[in-house]
Amino acid sequence: MAHSSASFLTIAVVSILLLANGASAASHLNFTDMLVNGGQYTTFIRLLGQTQVSKQIDNQLNNSNDGFTVFAPTDNAFNNLKPGTLNDLSDQQKVALIQFHVIPKFLTFTTIKTASNPIRTQGNGDEPYNVNITAQSNGNQFNVSTGVNNVSVTNALNVTAPLAIYSIDEVLLPLDLFGPKTPVTPANAPEAADKKKGSETNETTSSDDTSPKGDGFSVSRSVGWFGWLVMTMMSFGMLTVM
């Protein structure tokens, strides 16, 4: 009887340990490994590492009940960007770009159909880093709109809670970084215009003041010569009389 009890106890302990190990393995997810296994996300993986976004997601995955949804651009997606696009971004902007591909919520093809737009991403900046997601009626497909481009999603690398990874053929471009920029009018433009106007007025006044002075000087010279001539003639007459 004692032997049977000991055996039962041993089996129970082993079962508990196995369950604990299984739960631990299930709770610890490394989505970067999933991307590596995908074989076509080299650039995205590199940027995830450079921006430290991969570590953030790994930590939050193991401490969040909401899960995450990641849109993973393929290498071709990055190659199709305008040359120099990534190099023109600051480190902070690169972080915002990568975070823009992460939604702090686990979304499946089914739950996306009832999701409320706009949907907040992990990105942040001067403008809201939100996307609009529209489910298609033909099954496992939906569109992600950023305000700059519209990306179709049809392929899922992983849709097991708490992490969903969807492959995309275009990089999601946030409006804050890639949207049209409003021309900024210099604050001193009115002041410069006033200065220019004042300068033109002064030039006109200066020209007007110069003309009378020139005419007066000419008249004065004429009167002087005439007086000299009269006095000369008078002197000549006086000499003749004498």
Most confidently modeled of 57-66, 104-113, 174-183?
104-113
Using pLDDT thresholds of 50, 70 and 90, give the confidence band for residue 30: confident
Strand partners for 150: 145
Nearest in space to 63 (alpha carbons), one of 29, 34, 17, 38: 29
| 150-192 tens-digit pLDDT | 999 999 999 999 999 999 999 999 999 999 876 655 554 455 5
**Can you tell me the distance from the alpha carbon of 27 to that of 143, in angstroms, rounded to the nearest whole number?**
30
Nearest in space to 173 (alpha carbons), one of 115, 96, 106: 96
**Can you tell me the distance from the alpha carbon of 130 to that of 128, in angstroms, rounded to the nearest whole number?**
6
CA distances, 7 to each of 10, 17, 19, 20, 21 (Å): 5, 16, 18, 20, 21
The two structure tokens encoding residue 168: 């995309």
Antiparallel, parallel or unpaired: β 163-168 and 68-73: parallel
The answer to whether 141 touches 153, Cβ cutoff 8 Å, is yes
**Can you tell me the distance from the alpha carbon of 114 to that of 158, in angstroms, rounded to the nearest whole number?**
20
| Mean pLDDT in residue range 105-126 | 93
Most confidently modeled of 141-150, 187-196, 222-231?
141-150
Q: What percentage of the chain reaches a pLDDT higher than 70?
A: 63
Polymer length of the chain:
242
